Amino acid sequence: MPTAKDFVQRVAEWRRMPNVFNPWSETDERDQPGVDAPLIRQRQLTAYLQARRTSVKVILIAEALSCRGGRFTGIAMTSERILLGHDAKLNDVVMRPDRGSLPDYLPGPATRTSCVTALSRTTDREYGVYERTASIVWQTMLANGFGPTEFALWNAFPFHPFAHEDAQSNRRPSTHELLETGQILTDFISLFPRSVRFVALGREAESALRSHAMDPPHELVRHPTARAGRPANGTIQRKARPMGKLDEVIRRLALNRR
């Protein structure tokens, strides 16, 4: 079983791929000048994983890193605004009278890697880059009683895939890219106890889990920011496994957790 530090080092050293950004080894004009942004992201992911290795109850797997979330923090479905304590909607969830102060998300202090002058949105410049998916997922988990170290977040494709020469775009990873990086998902899963429950956010994530050697049992939910898509034909609609709603599935897992 690899250590969290070994896992992060392996991901950081992964061979480069075209039109793919590896936040644990690469940097660009949207990163703060004068700081080692990849190293910061490595340290944050290592701290995040180490804090969850024995306490995690649920692992949520999505499709890939986005241009606004883990690309800056090094942590899937986790934005700078969350780690810096400035996500207002999330704070409304965790600052209820019965919850007290903001939880320690990593744990430990978080460091911003985005370059303020390179960001177009005023709120991103002031409070850290915001990602909607990250906010919804963290709100859902904390609102249903899971502590920050009782769930872990990752992606079927661990890096940020972008459209040709547009690093600020998102695209779906190709089948080849998913197959090429499949060992990373295997190594990630091996960090945690076998008793953990899995939730796939969308069909790409479900396919990745089904391709895993352990084929871990999992819940399938619609990605929280995805629009409902129409199936190609009626046959596919009948055969496809129905997708649940994230909040409903997490609420049920919270009631049944050990």
Report pLDDT digits (tens) over 114-162: 999 999 999 999 999 999 999 999 999 999 999 999 999 999 999 999 9
Q: Report the pLDDT value the prediction gives residue 227, as an integer from 0 to 100.
A: 66
Question: CA–CA separation, 58 vs 45, rounded Å?
Answer: 17
- Average model confidence (pLDDT) across the chain: 92
Q: Report the pLDDT value the prediction gives residue 258, as an integer from 0 to 100.
A: 61
Residue 220, phi-psi category: left (phi > 0), alpha (psi -120 to 50), beta (remainder): beta
User: pTM for this one?
Assistant: 0.93
- Statement: residue 183 has pLDDT above 90: yes
Question: CA–CA separation, 191 vs 217, rounded Å?
Answer: 17
Beta-carbon contacts of 203 under 8 Å, excluding residues fewer than 6 positions away, are 220, 240, 243
Q: Report the pLDDT value the prediction gives residue 228, as an integer from 0 to 100.
A: 55
Tokens, residue 207 = 């396919």
- Statement: residue 206 has pLDDT above 90: yes
Tokens, residue 127 = 């409070």
53 phi/psi in degrees, rounded to 5: -60, -40
Mean pLDDT of all residues in 3-20: 98
State the distance between the two ends of the chain, measured CA to CA, in whole angstroms.
Answer: 24
Under CATH, which architecture does the 4-256 domain have?
A: 3-Layer(aba) Sandwich (3.40)
Q: Report the pLDDT value the prediction gives residue 234, as an integer from 0 to 100.
A: 40
- Statement: residue 239 has pLDDT above 70: no
Which one-letter amino acid corresponds to residue 21? F
